[in-house]
């Protein structure tokens, strides 16, 4: 692929940035927003009968929480990646060095946040072993 095929007009980039910003704004307003997903949880015992042990309800609660955590992490990651994409598109107009310092800093913060979320998932999957070289 040649560089000419990768070039985009300023108008096309502006339209794309507006679309990315629109997706990000819609996500922030939706029930799938990271902060809203975090608030939607079920307390332990809510599915069990009072005073008794209901193993199936406890298993359902555990599964719900695992799925809820994954959805919350997915939402956070999606939100961060859309924001990073918007910054990258702004940088595509010239060079990454042409971006303002706070935009470059935010881009790298987002990358670190995504790595932290991914590392947290790996740690939980590996049973708390941390990042293991395989």
Nearest partner of 86 among 30, 19, 41, judged by Cα? 19
According to the model, what pLDDT value does residue 47 have? 67
Low-confidence ranges of the chain (pLDDT < 70): 1-11, 13-14, 17, 32, 34, 37-38, 45-52, 125, 127-134
According to the model, what pLDDT value does residue 109 have? 94
Establish if 32 belongs to a structural domain.
yes
Per-residue pLDDT of 3-31, as tens digits, reads 455 555 666 766 776 787 777 778 778 77
Establish if 53 belongs to a structural domain.
no
Number of domains in the chain: 1
According to the model, what pLDDT value does residue 61 have? 77
Structure-token pair, residue 43:
């307390």
pTM passes above 0.75? no
Establish if 101 belongs to a structural domain.
yes
According to the model, what pLDDT value does residue 106 have? 92
Establish if 52 belongs to a structural domain.
no
Round to whole Å and give the CA distance between 5 and 27.
Answer: 31
Torsion of CA 46, 52, 57, 62, to 10 degrees: 80
According to the model, what pLDDT value does residue 38 have? 67
Cα–Cα distance list, 102 to 1, 17, 91, 106 (Å): 32, 18, 13, 6
According to the model, what pLDDT value does residue 7 have? 53
According to the model, what pLDDT value does residue 2 have? 47
Establish if 83 belongs to a structural domain.
yes
Establish if 3 belongs to a structural domain.
no
Domain carrying residue 101: 10-44+71-125
Establish if 115 belongs to a structural domain.
yes
Establish if 87 belongs to a structural domain.
yes
């Amino acid at each position: 692929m040649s560089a000419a095929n990768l070039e985009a007009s300023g108008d096309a980039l502006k339209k794309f940035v507006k679309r990315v910003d629109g997706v990000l704004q819609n996500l922030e307003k939706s029930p799938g927003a990271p902060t809203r997903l975090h608030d939607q949880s079920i307390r332990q015992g809510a599915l069990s009968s009072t005073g008794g042990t209901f193993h199936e309800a406890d298993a359902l609660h555990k599964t719900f929480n695992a799925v809820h955590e994954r959805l919350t992490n997915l939402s956070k990651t999606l939100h961060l990646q859309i924001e990073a994409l918007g910054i990258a598109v702004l940088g595509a107009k010239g060079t990454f060095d042409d971006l303002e310092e706070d935009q470059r800093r935010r881009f790298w913060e987002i990358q670190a946040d995504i790595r932290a979320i991914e590392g947290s998932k790996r740690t939980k999957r590996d049973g708390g072993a941390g990042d293991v070289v395989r």
